[in-house]
């Protein structure tokens, strides 16, 4: 009796009561997060994590989930590296497409800085069964084929990807089905104060359709390391580079249409980069066109529109800023309207 009384007294201490209530509150908070995240109010919350170690990937997957839930379909998915991320505004593409066809189209931008063609193939392999896009438009740069400077290989192995590729795991199931669990993961990230600043930086200017404009002009301009004559001449030296293209094209077997979009790049008005473009036209482009022609893949060239965009509308050599992206996105919407049968 005395022991029971002492235990009752100990449980009544304010500190223990606080711990007990905190533990009890956790599942209630997670349940509330689950409900709100699935409601129209979900857009007011920070994006829940899929444990990708990339706040941008987390935010884009959540935005894509919400868009498909709202629209019921995904007509066009833009994908690729930072050029796709910063150059293509799906809102402007859709508006232009509608103004020229009178038909609505639903698009999303899943571009991620530093993606390579190999990374993109694996991510798309997971995205296709999850979101069922009709068309994937890949904004391709030469560095995507033979990159040796930067990539995001770690994304290939996250549970969200592997689970959607048909390799189930408990965490894979949870990050695909439970917003409560994903907000628990988000809370764990937020416990580290630097992560809060990192999330703000990685997702700055991101729109609900996955477009992340590069603002103004980069100062100072960085050296262009990805479009050099030497790298362009070596674009197809390794057989793995050709295989990377073939692997991506094999995604058509999953019932998706594929279009390659030439990633726009700045042309110097004084022709000081003439050697680079000679190597591009003579060493890089012919092999790419041959592969795409053999597989009957459309290849939309962008050099004509890129040359028309003034330097003040470029963020740097390979990325348009918000003004250039508007011009380019309207141009792309027009091209898509001219090929509207692809999206039906």
Return mean pLDDT, the chain.
89
Q: Is there a single domain that holds both residue 215 and residue 337? A: yes
pLDDT for 4 equals: 43
d(CA 224, CA 320): 14
H helix runs in the chain, sequence order:
2-11, 14-37, 55-71, 82-87, 90-101, 117-131, 143-146, 159-164, 170-177, 179-190, 193-202, 229-233, 239-249, 274-279, 285-294, 303-308, 322-338
The model's confidence at residue 119, banded by pLDDT at 50, 70 and 90, is very high
Mean pLDDT of 288-311: 96
The CATH number given to whatever domain includes residue 104 is: 3.40.50.1110
| Domains of the chain: total | 2
Q: Is there a single domain that holds both residue 117 and residue 99? A: yes
pLDDT for 59 equals: 97
pLDDT for 50 equals: 96
Q: Is there a single domain that holds both residue 87 and residue 34? A: no
- Global pTM reads 0.89
Q: Is there a single domain that holds both residue 32 and residue 66? A: no
Nearby residues of 203 by Cβ (< 8 Å), 6 or more positions away: 47, 55, 56, 59, 212
Q: Is there a single domain that holds both residue 28 and residue 175? A: no
pLDDT for 38 equals: 72
Q: Is there a single domain that holds both residue 61 and residue 173? A: yes
The model's confidence at residue 122, banded by pLDDT at 50, 70 and 90, is very high
91, 153, 157, 163, 204 from 160: Cα distances, Å: 27, 14, 8, 6, 23
Q: Is there a single domain that holds both residue 21 and residue 85? A: no
Q: Is there a single domain that holds both residue 196 and residue 290? A: yes
Mean pLDDT of 244-251: 96
Q: Over the stretch 94-110, which tens digit does the pLDDT of each residue have?
A: 999 999 999 999 999 99
Phi first, then psi, for residue 244 (nearest 5°) are -60, -40
pLDDT for 342 equals: 96
Q: Is there a single domain that holds both residue 133 and residue 27? A: no
The model's confidence at residue 224, banded by pLDDT at 50, 70 and 90, is confident
The model's confidence at residue 121, banded by pLDDT at 50, 70 and 90, is very high
pLDDT for 245 beyond 70: yes
pLDDT for 15 beyond 90: no
pLDDT for 16 equals: 57
95, 139, 206, 260, 263 from 300: Cα distances, Å: 20, 9, 26, 6, 9
Angle between helix axes 193-202 and 55-71 (nearest 10 degrees) is: 60
Task: Name the percent of the chain lying above pLDDT 90.
Answer: 73
pLDDT for 205 equals: 97
Q: Is there a single domain that holds both residue 20 and residue 159? A: no
The model's confidence at residue 8, banded by pLDDT at 50, 70 and 90, is very low
The model's confidence at residue 19, banded by pLDDT at 50, 70 and 90, is low
pLDDT for 175 beyond 60: yes
User: Cα–chain-centroid distance for residue 276?
Assistant: 28
Q: Is there a single domain that holds both residue 27 and residue 88? A: no
pLDDT for 220 equals: 81
Task: Pick the range with the lowest mean pLDDT from 28-32, 67-71, 288-292, 312-316.
Answer: 28-32
pLDDT for 162 beyond 50: yes
Give residue for tokens 């930072």: 82
The model's confidence at residue 76, banded by pLDDT at 50, 70 and 90, is very high
**Reduced to 3 states, what is the DSSP secondary structure of residue 321?**
strand
Q: Is there a single domain that holds both residue 258 and residue 311? A: yes
Instruction: State the distance between the two ends of the chain, measured CA to CA, in whole angstroms.
Output: 77
Nearby residues of 201 by Cβ (< 8 Å), 6 or more positions away: none
Sign of CA dihedral 91, 97, 100, 103: negative
- Residue whose C-alpha is closest to residue 253's, from 144, 147, 128: 128
The model's confidence at residue 120, banded by pLDDT at 50, 70 and 90, is very high
Full residue range of the structural domain in which residue 95 is found: 46-343
């Amino acid at each position: 009796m005395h022991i029971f009384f002492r235990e009752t007294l100990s449980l009544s201490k304010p500190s223990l009561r606080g711990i007990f209530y905190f533990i009890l509150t956790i599942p209630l908070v997670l349940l509330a997060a689950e409900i709100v995240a699935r409601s129209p109010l979900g857009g007011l919350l920070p994006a829940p994590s899929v444990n990708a170690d990339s706040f941008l990937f987390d935010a884009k997957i959540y935005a894509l989930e919400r868009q498909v839930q709202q629209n019921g379909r995904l007509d066009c998915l833009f994908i690729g590296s930072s050029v796709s991320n910063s150059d293509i505004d799906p809102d402007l593409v859709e508006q232009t497409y509608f103004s020229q066809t009178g038909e609505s189209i639903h698009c999303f931008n899943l571009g991620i800085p530093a993606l390579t063609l190999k990374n993109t193939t694996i991510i798309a392999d997971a995205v296709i069964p999850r979101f069922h896009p009709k068309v994937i438009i890949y904004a391709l740069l030469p560095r995507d084929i033979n990159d040796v400077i930067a990539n995001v290989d770690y994304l290939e192995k996250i549970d969200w990807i592997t689970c959607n590729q048909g390799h189930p795991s408990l965490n894979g199931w949870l990050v695909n089905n439970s917003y409560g669990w994903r907000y628990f993961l988000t809370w764990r990230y937020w416990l580290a104060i630097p992560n809060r600043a990192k999330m703000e930086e990685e997702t700055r200017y991101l729109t609900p359709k996955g477009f992340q404009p590069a603002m103004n002009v980069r100062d100072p301009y960085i050296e262009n390391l990805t479009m050099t004559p030497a790298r362009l001449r070596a674009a197809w030296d390794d057989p793995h580079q050709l295989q990377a293209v073939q692997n991506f094209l094999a995604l058509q077997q999953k019932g998706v249409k594929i279009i390659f979009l030439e990633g726009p790049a700045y042309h110097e008005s004084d022709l000081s980069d003439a050697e680079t473009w000679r190597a591009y036209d003579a060493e890089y482009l012919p092999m790419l066109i041959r592969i795409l022609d053999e597989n009957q893949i459309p290849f939309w060239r962008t050099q004509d529109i890129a040359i028309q965009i003034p330097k003040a509308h470029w963020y740097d050599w390979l990325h348009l800023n918000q003004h250039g992206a508007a011009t380019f996105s309207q141009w792309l919407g027009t091209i898509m309207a001219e090929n509207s049968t692809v999206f039906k």
